[in-house]
Amino acid sequence: MSLVKEAPTLERQARRKRNGQMRIPYDAIWGGEIRDGSPPLASDTHIELTHRRWSPERVLQGEMQSCKVVSEMVMNGQIEKFLDDALEIELRQAVSEMITTSQGSMDLLEKVRIDVDFGLAEVPLLYGPIYETVPGPFPGGVVQINENTLQGNVIFLEKFEGGEIVFGTIQKGVPATAPITTYAAGFEWTEDMIEFDRTWDITLNNRAFGRSYNYLLNHLHLSPIIAFSYAGDNLTAADATGATTQEKTLKTFQNAYKTAVLDTPQRTPSVILANEADRFQIEDALLTPVLDANGRPLARVPVDTIIYYNGATVTNGVKSYVYPGVTAGTCYFIFPKQRFKELVHHDLRIDIGPEDISRLIEGQQVGRTRRGLYADLDDSVQKITLPV
């Protein structure tokens, strides 16, 4: 409780923009005294919480192009590598005191930002090569995505003297809508936790927000691909004509590639989504030379990125939440970007609220994001059954 009735708090002073930025005024109260002759302060001083985009674990040079391999399992062992420049900030006073003090509020905001970044680093984002990000805001909470917003067509013809040019058209299709959904999570800590639990620190909350956020994003963007019911030309069975598993696997991907590029509309797959257990079989067939029975190399399949995703299980109290991964023995050959849209109304926002003395609650912390997605799976994905 503040002794000054109108003491500024982080919640009162913060101003949020539509793009998700949180701004805190920098003045004599929040940033120290401003004396005569002091240089003007920037009006847009703010700290922004955005999710981390990870680089691939390695890039393999092939005959036709480089192949990026992204794997949550391997990236988990490289957390420290990506945080070499990050600094730990320790709290020098209670959280409740920091909310109502000038420098304390800035220190707390910076600590939350850095701790969340550590949590984000523990769970790499995997869907980046598949989706194109469309930043918000999206007023109304629903985004209308006509098929005609995804592609325009025009043709160049010879221009004759006195003649007119032929104007392009927008590709027609069935309108679709993508709702913007709010996802939220929170923590609260009690007076008893502060009095008796020496293992608790707000750092645990912040890192949990980061981990859970990236778990959510991977699930939201990859689960539609995994759960969809594919049929007809979107299915490729295992090829059984090769002499070895390596040759059968390569021929299976060749068949999938040919089916996709000959489909209407044409889709040229370049990203593979698979289970970690199938890593060696896939990479042995696609990233190393494969010889036929006469010792001649078989044609390679052009692949830009291989993503391995086995899902995740997050336990909250006594309840466990399962994010399903790719089933072993199957994989997905994907035509990325053009018909995959990530709609970000705003990224992760985290606020710390006041105490509730009636319940001995010392503070609450709430994180939320608002986002949606669009995925045209029929015209973008080839589901493959791997040979055994």
Distance from C-alpha of 258 to C-alpha of 238, rounded to nearest angstrom: 14
Distance from C-alpha of 70 to C-alpha of 282, rounded to nearest angstrom: 13
Q: Burial of 354 by CB count in 10 Å (0-12 exposed, 13-18 middle, 19+ buried)?
A: middle
Distance from C-alpha of 211 to C-alpha of 124, rounded to nearest angstrom: 9
CB 373 within 8 A of CB 221: yes
Residues of the chain predicted below pLDDT 70: 1-65, 74-113, 146-151, 170-175, 197-202
Cα-Cα-Cα-Cα dihedral of 154, 157, 162, 168, to 10°? Answer: -10
Distance from C-alpha of 207 to C-alpha of 153, rounded to nearest angstrom: 47
So what's the pLDDT on residue 100?
Answer: 47
So what's the pLDDT on residue 205?
Answer: 77
Distance from C-alpha of 120 to C-alpha of 218, rounded to nearest angstrom: 12
Question: How much of the chain is in helix, strand and coil states, percent to nearest 5?
Answer: 30, 25, 45
Which residues are within 8 A (CB) of 281 and not within 5 positions of it... i.e. 6 or more apart? 245, 246, 249, 386
